[in-house]
Amino acid sequence: MNSTTKNTIEIAKTLGRRGFTLAGVEVHTPDGRTWEVAPVPAGRGRHADGHWGPRPGSLGGFRLFEIDRDRETIDEHDAVDGDTWAASELIDYLDAVGQPKDTTSWDRKNDNKPTT
């Protein structure tokens, strides 16, 4: 864990103890992308028409947004099952998609010689 992450965790704990509510966490994955993880409390969820609001029986979880500041876009990445991500599934997803891409295959030499 680097010092930025450690300091962020410490201030989040302090704010929580003082009664503040954290509305989300900004995450930077190793591939350079930026994400927003937004908590969804129990009793809220996505309705059939796509809007979010009170939904009795909903267990809560997290929503995941990819932020592209260059294009000024925010894209939601939907959970595989249900309308929210479980913490473990979200972490596994970010770990899988957030790794730097292997570009060595793009540098293959073409052994085909031109025909004359």
Q: Cα(first)–Cα(last) distance of the chain, in Å?
A: 58
Across the range 3-22, mean pLDDT stands at: 95
Two tokens, residue 17? 């103890």
- In this predicted model, what pLDDT tens digit does every residue of 48-96 receive, in sequence order? 898 999 999 889 999 999 999 999 999 999 998 888 999 999 999 999 9
Residue 5: predicted pLDDT: 93
Across the range 32-50, mean pLDDT stands at: 93
- Is the pLDDT confidence value at 114 over 60? no
- Is the pLDDT confidence value at 113 over 70? no
Residues 93 and 80: their CA atoms lie apart, in Å, by 10
Give the predicted TM-score (pTM) of the model. 0.79
